[in-house]
Chain A
Amino acid sequence: MRTALDIARDVRSGATTAESEMVTSLTAIRARNEELNVFLFVDEEGALDAARRVDERVTSGDDAGVLAGVPIALKDNLCTTGVPTTAGSKILKGWLPPYSATVVHRVLGAGAVPMGKTNMDEFAMGSSTETSAYGPTRNPLDVDRVPGGSSGGSASAVAGDMTPLSLGSDTGGSIRQPAALCGLVGVKPTYGLVSRYGLIAFASSLDQIGPFAKNVADAAALLEVIAGHDPMDSTSLPEPAPSLLLHVNDGVAGKRVGLVRELYDGADDEVVAEVERAASALRDAGATIVELSVPELHLGLSAYYLIAPAEASSNLARYDGVRYGLRVDAEDVAAMNEATRTAGFGAEVKRRIMLGTYALSAGYYDAYYGQALKVRTQLIDAFRRAYLEADLLLGATAPSVAFAIGEKTADPMAMYLSDVFTIPTNLAGDAAISVPFGTGQLGLPIGVQLLGPGRSEAQLFAAARVLELADGRS
Chain B
Amino acid sequence: MATPLRREDVAKVAKLARLSLSEAELDEFTAQLAQVLEHANDIAALDLEGVVATAHPFGLINVVRDDVLCASLSRDDVLSMAPDAQDGRFAVPRIMGEAP
Closest approach, in angstroms, between the C-beta of A406 and any C-beta of chain B?
Answer: 17
In angstroms, how far is the closest chain B Cβ from the Cβ of A227? 16
The chain A residue sitting closest to B91, CB to CB, is A322
List residues of chain B with CB within 8 A of the CB of A355.
33, 36-37
Could you tell me if B57 and A98 are in contact, using CB atoms closer than 8 angstroms? Answer: no
**With A98-B77, A378-B51 in contact, do A332 and B94 touch (Cβ < 8 Å)?**
yes
In the complex, the answer to whether B48 meets A371 with C-beta atoms within 8 Å is: yes
Contact B56 A361, beta carbon cutoff 8 Å: no
Residue from the set B33, B48, B57 with the largest chain A CB neighbour count within 10 Å: B57
Counting CB contacts under 8 A, is A354 at the interface? yes
User: Within 8 Å of chain B (Cβ to Cβ): is A96?
Assistant: yes
Residue in A closest to B9 when the chains form the complex, CB atoms: A358
With A324-B81, A342-B20, A413-B36: A374-B93 Cβ-Cβ less than 8 Å: no
Judging by beta carbons under 8 Å apart, are B57 and A380 in contact? yes
Query: A341 touching B18 by the CB < 8 A rule?
Result: yes
Does B99 touch A at the CB level, under 8 Å?
no
Chain A, residues 393-420, CB within 8 Å of chain B (1/0): the string is: 0000000000000000000110010000
**A375 in contact with B48 (CB, 8 Å):** yes
Contact A374 to B53, CB < 8 A, known contacts A327-B83, A333-B92, A354-B14: yes
Please determine whether B58 and A429 come into contact, CB atoms closer than 8 angstroms. Answer: yes
Asked if residues A205 and B56 are in contact (CB atoms below 8 Å), the reply is yes
| Given A330-B93, A332-B95; A299-B43 close (CB under 8 Å) | yes
Chain A neighbourhood of B42, CB < 8 A: 298-299, 302
A331 in the interface (beta carbon within 8 A): yes
Q: Is the interface of B mostly helix, strand, loop or mixed?
A: loop
User: Could you say which of A321, A364, A412 contacts B36, with CB atoms under 8 Å apart?
Assistant: A412
Question: B40 touching A429 by the CB < 8 A rule?
Answer: no
Q: Check: B86 CB closer than 8 A to any chain A CB.
A: no
CB-based contact B36/A305 at 8 Å = yes
CA distance A331 to B93 in the complex (A): 6
Is residue A219 within 8 Å, beta carbon to beta carbon, of the partner chain? no
Task: Give the size category of B's interface with A.
Answer: 35 or more
Within 8 A of B (CB), among A296-344: 298-299, 301-303, 305-306, 313, 320-327, 329-339, 341-342
Residue B73 at the A interface, CB < 8 A?
yes
Partner of B16, one of A347, A361, A376: A361
A:75-96 near B, CB below 8 Å? 95-96
CB distance from B3 to the nearest CB of A (A): 9
Say yes or no for A39: interface residue by CB 8 A criterion. Answer: no
Residues in B with CB closer than 8 Å to A357 are: 13, 16-17
A376 touches B54 (CB 8 A): yes
Q: Does A421 contact B (CB under 8 A)?
A: no
Instruction: Flag if B93 contacts A323 (CB, 8 Å).
Output: no
Say yes or no: B82 contacts A323, CB within 8 Å. Answer: yes
* CA distance in complex: A452, B90 (Å): 47
A368 to chain B: which residues have CB within 8 Å?
Answer: 2, 37, 40, 44
Whole-angstrom distance between the alpha carbons of A329 and B95 in the complex? 13
Contact of A351 among B33, B39, B40, B80 (CB under 8 A): B33
- A residues near B (Cβ < 8 Å) are 95-96, 98-99, 191-192, 205, 231, 234-235, 298-299, 301-303, 305-306, 313, 320-327, 329-339, 341-342, 345, 347, 350-351, 353-355, 357-358, 361, 364, 367-368, 370-378, 380, 412-413, 416, 427-430, 454
Sorted nearest first, the 5 A-B pairs with minimum C-beta distance are: A429-B57, A327-B83, A373-B53, A234-B63, A374-B51
Given known contacts A354-B13, A454-B58, what 14 new A-B pairs fall within 8 Å (CB)? A323-B78, A332-B93, A336-B92, A336-B93, A338-B18, A341-B17, A350-B21, A354-B10, A355-B36, A364-B2, A372-B40, A380-B54, A413-B39, A430-B57
